[in-house]
Structure 1
Amino acid sequence: VEPEVLMDGAHSLAQCQKVTTAVLESLFDELNLMQVQLDGIVLKPNMVVAGTDSSEQPSVTDVARATVDALRETVPASVPGIAFLSGGQSPEVATKHLGAMQDLSPLSWELTYSFGRALVGPALETWRGDNANWDAAQKALSERAIANAAAR
């Protein structure tokens, strides 16, 4: 299930948390009405972040805390896993946010990522279809895999 609040705009972290919470509340109300077995879903939400045009960009810890607070308020413990979308964050920042969320235990769900961009983006950017860049691209992929595994 993939609800997403976009990070486009000038909204604050607090506004994103408010909207994300409302979206997740509505989502789970609808899933309950449809009698969806929540232990059989993977939730793929956004992280709670300030808008890309916001003059105040929160710290990694603030993003992690706001995201986990929104999840704790809305996501039933029967949901087994949450696989975050990057929502346009850079690979490094998205990975840092995920890692910081893991530190806010206890958590009712497994947290992971569903952002291929954070894994393969730097490798594709390095490779650019040129076989001369193959080794450097493989190194970039390996580095991102190691960083994402550590965040997980």
Structure 2
Amino acid sequence: MPLNYYKEELKKTAESLAKSGKGILAVDESTKTIGKRLASINLENTETNRKAYRGMLFTTQGLGQYISGAILFEETLFQTHSDGELMVKKLEKLGIIPGIKVDKGLKPLAGGGDIETFCSGLDGLVERSSDYYAQGARFAKWRAVLQITNNGCPSKLSIKENAWGLARYARSVQESGLVPIIEPEILMDGSHGINKTAAIQEEVIKEVYMACKTNGVYLEGTLLKPSMTIEGAECPEKSNPKTIAEQTIRTMERSVPAAVPGIVFLSGGLSEEAASVYLNLMNKIKRKATWNIGFSYGRALQHSCLKAWDGKNITAGQNALLARAQANSEASKGCYLEGSQPSSDEALFVAGYKY
């Protein structure tokens, strides 16, 4: 269908996802990556165990009070719960909008630096997205990854290629009725300072929206999922939380169009507590645009939850998930009291993170 057919629905869905006090649960780990998570609690990577874990998440009563949407892996979108009901129906009962990861993963970028990649999956995307829409998905996610190094990465080629891929994806899924989450992630790897991150991130996001304009992407029916503006993990000079919040908001104000209804930050290897604290501080800053500042966290919502669940303790797992969901809900309104919810301050950074 043409984009105009879906415009009203896209705008409504994007606004629902970006509702104040709510955020997105990213549970779209690939089969290989969820296997690593399960291995951390000594569980085998089987469909039964994957189903049990995700089923635990999607039957957490009250989760919809804090979570507006959940990004699923393709397996989960078409999967049934152990009781025979579709996983997407479990989410809908909680008032949570189902979403879907549509990219096909990172590939080496020919002509780019040794570590540079592009995100694959554009072939057949409109048709696949139509199938996902029919299954109940109403938004999509596509992750482009850029890395800052001392030898010139990200290159101009990498920035342009990844921006163009994000824009092509966004336009493609909108033509099938899905709201695109546009995710140009700047990895935490590296020894660079926060000012360099800010400069590179501003350049990247501006390039993304120039490509979106060329492709006719309907911005009111999109969300942006960036990383926070923070120094490299190996940088000896660590910024305080207030500086990180200020730099992040300044970078967004310099590069994100006001037409975008919401910015949902990724946690990108931050600890559960740090992800909440930084988000809370961002929401205390007066800003020029009215976009909602929320969250789309994976590890920062699931880390303690997975450990508490441990393959069998459903109530403990759900309580841990609710605690972090409530913490980030409060943070997205600027009223989170540090340490008021159970959390882990364990750093979740993984070098060259892929999933």
Q: Same fold (TM over 0.5)?
A: yes
Aligned to 2:295: 113
Q: Distance in 1 between matches of 2:213 and 2:263?
A: 18
Over the residues paired in the alignment, what is the CA RMSD in angstroms?
1.4
Find 2:306's aligned residue among 117, 124, 127.
Answer: 124
Deviation per residue, 1:54-91 (Å, 9 max, x gap): 11111111111011000000111011111111111111
Find 2:329's aligned residue among 146, 149, 152.
Answer: 149
Q: Distance in 1 between matches of 2:262 and 2:225?
A: 9
Alignment of 1:18-97 (within 5 A): 18-97=199-278
Q: Report SS of the residue matched to 2:232.
A: coil
After TM superposition, the score normalised by the length of structure 2 is: 0.41
**Unmatched 5+ residue regions in structure 1?**
none
Q: Report SS of the residue matched to 1:113.
A: strand
Q: Percent identity, aligned pairs only?
A: 37
Q: Distance in 1 between matches of 2:189 and 2:308?
A: 26
2:329 partner letter: A
Q: Report SS of the residue matched to 1:92.
A: helix
Q: Report SS of the residue matched to 2:185.
A: coil
After TM superposition, the score normalised by the length of structure 1 is: 0.92
Of Structure 1 and Structure 2, the greater helix share is in 1
Deviation per residue, 1:71-125 (Å, 9 max, x gap): 0001110111111111111111111111111011234200111112222221102
Are positions 1:140 and 2:320 aligned together? yes
**Unmatched 5+ residue regions in structure 2?**
1-181, 333-355
Aligned to 1:13: 194
Q: Report SS of the residue matched to 2:324.
A: helix
Q: Which of structure 1's runs of 4+ aligned residues deviate more than 3 A?
A: 133-136
Q: Distance in 2 between matches of 1:108 and 1:75?
A: 11
Deviation per residue, 1:4-61 (Å, 9 max, x gap): 1111111111111111101011111111111212111101111101111111111111
Q: Distance in 1 between matches of 2:291 and 2:258?
A: 7
Of Structure 1 and Structure 2, the greater strand share is in 2
1:141 partner letter: L
1:140 partner letter: A
Q: Which moved more, 1:98-107 or 1:73-82?
A: 98-107
Query: Which structure's CA Rg is the greater one?
Result: 2
Q: Report SS of the residue matched to 1:3.
A: strand
Deviation per residue, 1:108-143 (Å, 9 max, x gap): 2001111122222211022221x2x44433332232
Number of aligned residues = 150
Q: Report SS of the residue matched to 1:114.
A: strand
Q: Report SS of the residue matched to 1:54.
A: coil
2:308 partner letter: T
Q: Which moved more, 1:134-143 or 1:108-117?
A: 134-143
